[in-house]
Structure 1
Amino acid sequence: MLYERWSKAEDSYIPAKREATAYLDQPPHTGEIEAAIKAINKKAATGLDGIPARRVNQIPIDDLQQFIRLVWINTKLPRQLVDMKVKPIPKSLPRTTVGNTRPITIPSTVMKIINQVILQHITPYIEPHLLPQQHAYRKGRGTATAVAELFTKFNHSGQTLLLLDLSKAFDTVNHTALFAALRAATIPSKEYNLIRDQYLDAEVRVQWAKRYAEPFSLTNGIRQGCTLSTTLFNLVEAERERKCRIRMQRIPYEVVMYADDKAVILDDESLVQRVLDVNQQTAAEYGMYQNNSKTMQLRLDRNATEIKTVKWMGILLDNKLSMNQEVEYRIEKARNAARDYTQAVKTIPPSMINIAIRINGACAIILPHLTYLWKEIPFTPQQRATLIDTATQLLAKVFDGTSGVTATSILNHVHNITKGLTPRLKQLTSLETLMPTPMEDQAATKENELADWAGGTDIIYARPDQPMETLPDEGSLQIPKLLSRRKMRTPRSSAQGTNHTLRRRESCLPQPLKPHHRPLVLVVTSTHLRSIT
């Protein structure tokens, strides 16, 4: 199915290279390369080159800069960097069906660095071509700004909300339309040519159940997982929306866009079909397919007697915009999360999980369900009070019998989170009001010990006459076995004068991880450097 989806475009045209301008297309300097290395996700999966992202800091910056300079001067990428691994990620059940998966491409680590440098160069050229209504993958924007804009525009009775659905949008973008949008953005020639080489005669290898399928050519689609994919897709969607506006000049409407999710707000319900037809036509011109059967429609009526709901960005919107259904939905999810967390903790021995981990886990699992986009959604004061009371009661039930945690500390912690903040998993306030001070010191000591354990190995470069070696992704380090419990007998105390035996158990602590001594071979040798000159 992935082969049919990505190799269906037989007449896809990729234009020729551009002529470079000397004063605009200089190779990146050391600062840009260091910034690109810092921006890479160190927990990302390993590509076909076999270099783990967590080891990228051990590559000498001088060698990496020399290689990128050769790539920039010759405007040519080695084939080993262009080809990528694809891993389908299940979206829903059944997981054995390819249609229910999202294919994520995993480029090589060196290619990630090059693409990060390219992204830094082309962002100032692409950003002016994007629309203010686009909120995905842009600095200073996100789901919070998209939801806030929707509630600002969709608040009058009689308005109609259309939630358009694009099927497999990233995987079906036509390459001809993609490079036409890049040429219109007037990005520098070097960056344009390097992006072009990544889509010209590129092959992908699908990994499924630890096995690889036969490689096949990628003739359409934007590769999800690539550093440039989100920016390129935003550019294509901006060009497509401009075409829609040209063809619907006499139709007044508002739009809120987040990646491939598009919300259209109309004042006249009779124009719904016209908007659907135009969006479907423009999607087909860019190789995408709009599934009208999954398109949701909601008409705002404050006096409605029958409640209808649609889901957008994880939020339940009702036709009265009362948000009562959203509050009930959040409470139900939080209760289910608290129940599952309590059952999971019961199966773990107390010696393997301390109070600090219990508190962190409960707050991170339960609270986001209740406080998601707390500031942007127009909840009433009564609804906010209901959510706060639910959060306090659930945490009190989970922490029942936990030493050092009181009802007052739980209530203070919930109030600190809901003080006009936008609570997200990474933005939850500190847990000082819940965790006692000794536990924090103990957790800090363990973090320092783990940092000392995580020692890396030096990279040993291959000689020019050696063939390229691809190292398999060994995954994360194995968890060491716990120490065996031993019973210890204390001697009789003469002062007490009693004949009894005290027993104590040693705490089960994991042994420090031993660093791997296996040398890491850099994939790009000097032989491959000369092959691109």
Structure 2
Amino acid sequence: MLLTAERVGFRNGRSCCDQIFTLRNKIEQCLEYRYPLDINFVDFKAFDSAHHESLWEILELYGVPTTFVEIFRSLYQNSMCCMKTTLGNTSYFEVTTGVRQGCVLSPLLFNVVLDFVMRRTTAEVQEGIPWFRGRLMDLDFADDITVFSEDNDKLRRITESLSQEAGNIGLRISPEKSKVMCVGITSPRDGIYIGSDRLEVVNSLTYLGSMIANDGDAETDVRCRIAKATAIFRRLKPLWTSSSISNSVKLLCIRR
């Protein structure tokens, strides 16, 4: 089974630029044609909390050969750890959730787990917004999930379904870090909830390193990028003013 087109993280030939462009483009279209758009920027509390057994089952559902699944399972089997405190180490306990940070397999496992969650979510709640000849319901980059809807009620149903499907395999959405954005003529009305916690409604936020505003204005993002570039150039002033470094090397630093 192939990953969905909406998922671009850790995939060859794709980057966060694809997601940023698509998001900006859709906001601009909705503003131009006065089309309502509600967006939920989902943040998970701890992405490394996915159950190991759920992970192996998902890999099998995606058609990964049993031999490889068993190899992956053996890498995580009998994983033990303890907590280091000021009073000494605690007793050892088995680790049954999460993936190993720094492991070359972890990005693949990240993608498969969240792709599975989003497939289940979209199967339960077929909402989204018009996009060319189909519908666009989400944009995914690693564990950054952005879901779209035409109104507040539909976005609430999508969010509830996503929270339930993610919870089934051990993932939990963070109400404090998840944000809702309303574009155009739409309004939050009753709000979006995770459990009893209402998600904050914002006019702008940082998405994959880029400032996104509900009025489609990119000026703030441009100013931020110019400021960051200026700060870096100032830090490299000794390099630019050094007479012992050739201009060709300085140009090479700029190009890279």
* CA pair 133-161 structure 1, distance change in 2 beyond 3 A: same
Query: Are 2:39 and 1:161 aligned?
Result: yes
Give the percent of matched residue pairs that are identical in Structure 1 and Structure 2.
21
Residue 187 of structure 1 aligns to a residue whose secondary structure is coil
CA contact (8 A) 1:154 1:265 kept: no
Q: In structure 2, what is the Cα distance between the partners aligned to 1:429 and 1:149? A: 26
Query: Are 2:141 and 1:261 aligned?
Result: no
Query: Are 2:109 and 1:226 aligned?
Result: no
Q: In structure 1, what is the Cα distance between the partners aligned to 2:151 and 2:79? A: 46
In the TM superposition, what are the counterparts of 1:377-456 in structure 2 within 5 Å? 399=241, 429=255
Give the equivalent residue in structure 2 for 1:337. 232
Shift of the alpha carbon at 1:262? 0.5
Give the equivalent residue in structure 2 for 1:175. 52
Residue 9 of structure 2 aligns to a residue whose secondary structure is coil
Alignment deviations for residues 430-464 of structure 1 (CA, whole Å, 9 cap, x no partner): 7xxxxxxxxxxxxxxxxxxxxxxxxxxxxxxxxxx
Give the equivalent residue in structure 2 for 1:288. 171
- The one-letter amino acid of 1:293's match is E
Shift of the alpha carbon at 1:190? 2.1
Gaps of 5+ in 1: 1-127, 346-357, 360-398, 418-424, 431-533
Residue 40 of structure 2 aligns to a residue whose secondary structure is strand
Q: In structure 2, what is the Cα distance between the partners aligned to 1:164 and 1:133? A: 15
Give the equivalent residue in structure 2 for 1:277. 160
Query: Are 2:69 and 1:192 aligned?
Result: yes
In the TM superposition, what are the counterparts of 1:349-364 in structure 2 within 5 Å? 358-359=239-240
CA contact (8 A) 1:135 1:143 kept: yes
Residue 162 of structure 1 aligns to a residue whose secondary structure is strand
Q: In structure 1, what is the Cα distance between the partners aligned to 2:8 and 2:137? A: 14
Find 2:16's aligned residue among 121, 140, 143.
143
Residue 138 of structure 2 aligns to a residue whose secondary structure is strand
Q: In structure 1, what is the Cα distance between the partners aligned to 2:63 and 2:219? A: 48
Alignment deviations for residues 390-433 of structure 1 (CA, whole Å, 9 cap, x no partner): xxxxxxxxx4xx5599xxx99xx6xxx9xxxxxxx9xx637xxx
Find 1:235's aligned residue among 105, 109, 112.
112
- The one-letter amino acid of 2:217's match is S
Q: In structure 2, what is the Cα distance between the partners aligned to 1:269 and 1:161? A: 9
Q: TM-score, normalised by structure 1?
A: 0.38
Give the equivalent residue in structure 2 for 1:301. 184
* CA pair 141-217 structure 1, distance change in 2 beyond 3 A: same
Q: In structure 1, what is the Cα distance between the partners aligned to 2:67 and 2:58? A: 16
Q: In structure 2, what is the Cα distance between the partners aligned to 1:270 and 1:331? A: 39
- The one-letter amino acid of 1:189's match is T
Alignment deviations for residues 84-113 of structure 1 (CA, whole Å, 9 cap, x no partner): xxxxxxxxxxxxxxxxxxxxxxxxxxxxxx
CA contact (8 A) 1:129 1:235 kept: no
- The one-letter amino acid of 2:40's match is L
Shift of the alpha carbon at 1:317? 0.8
CA-based RMSD of the aligned residues comes to 3.4
- The one-letter amino acid of 2:120's match is K
Q: In structure 2, what is the Cα distance between the partners aligned to 1:213 and 1:225? A: 25
In the TM superposition, what are the counterparts of 1:309-348 in structure 2 within 5 Å? 309-342=204-237, 345=238
Tell me the number of residue pairs that the alignment of Structure 1 and Structure 2 aligns. Answer: 227
Shift of the alpha carbon at 1:213? 7.5
CA contact (8 A) 1:222 1:229 kept: yes
Gaps of 5+ in 2: 130-135, 186-201
Shift of the alpha carbon at 1:147? 2.1
Shift of the alpha carbon at 1:206? 7.2
* CA pair 216-143 structure 1, distance change in 2 beyond 3 A: same
Q: Specify the structure having the higher radius of gyration (Cα).
A: 1
Q: In structure 2, what is the Cα distance between the partners aligned to 1:320 and 1:404? A: 49
- The one-letter amino acid of 2:18's match is T
Report which structure shows greater RCO (CA 8 Å, sep ≥6): 2
- The one-letter amino acid of 2:228's match is K
- The one-letter amino acid of 1:286's match is I
